[in-house]
Amino acid sequence: MKLYYSPKSGHSHRARLFLSLLGVRFELIEVDLAARQHKSADFLRLNAFGQVPVLEDDGIAIADSNAILVYLAQKFGRTDWYPEDASGAARVQRWLSVAAGQLVQGPASARLVTLFGAKIDAQAAIDRAHALLAVIETELEQTGWLAADHPTIADIALYSYVARAPEGNVGLDAYLRIQAWLERIETLRGFVPFAIHPVGHYAPGAPLAHLAMA
């Protein structure tokens, strides 16, 4: 297996994290986004949308981070991570949709402003992020996990951008259940961290309270 990724991409991190949690052997191939390698002819043959990550396995290219999570869970028969029953699968799918929607529009977009200088309304993205975090905080009340009484790919799909929300000036101080959830994920065997970048609440001179989060 080969995973084409960028170390600054939360989408890439979720795929890398799940591979590591599964204990799968794979080759990690960094795609230089600044050099536009993701728009090269070779890469576009793997993913016509020119986006990371892409998983290459036995001559098959799987694009889209959520699709990679589903593929890996199915390939290795990990029904603990992706349930087979209709209700369990639907609960997970709900959060995969959130990861592709509200998560991107909120925490991920706010982070794009500070990390890449994206021309996005930062305050609107921050407001959307807090609206999402408030829902997650409530959802975690029952079992401490998003879709079951144990971790699933739903949790993996949301972890990276929630954990680094402070990079986009989205504080996590008020979300005690989310902070505990992040810590539970970080203690899973095979966990690999998502790099912290010195922007937003992690920027030099930021309050120490923010530096201690997530």
Q: What is the pLDDT of residues 134-187, one digit of tens each?
A: 999 999 999 999 999 999 999 999 999 999 999 999 999 999 999 999 999 999
Least confident of 46-50, 81-85, 121-125: 46-50
Least confident of 71-75, 188-192, 207-211: 207-211
Domain ranges of the chain: 2-75, 86-211
Q: Residue 110: what residue type?
A: A
Position 207 scores a pLDDT of: 59
User: The whole model's pTM is what?
Assistant: 0.92
What distance in Å separates the CA atoms of residue 158 and residue 128, rounded to the nearest whole number?
15
DSSP, residue by residue, 50-98: --S-EEEETTEEEESHHHHHHHHHHHTT-TTTS-SSHHHHHHHHHHHHH
Triad 159, 106, 206: Cα angle to 5°: 80
Position 47 scores a pLDDT of: 80
CATH number of this structure's domain 86-211: 1.20.1050.10
CATH number of this structure's domain 2-75: 3.40.30.10
Position 55 scores a pLDDT of: 97
Position 152 scores a pLDDT of: 98
- Write out pLDDT tens, residues 197-214: 999 999 987 654 444 333
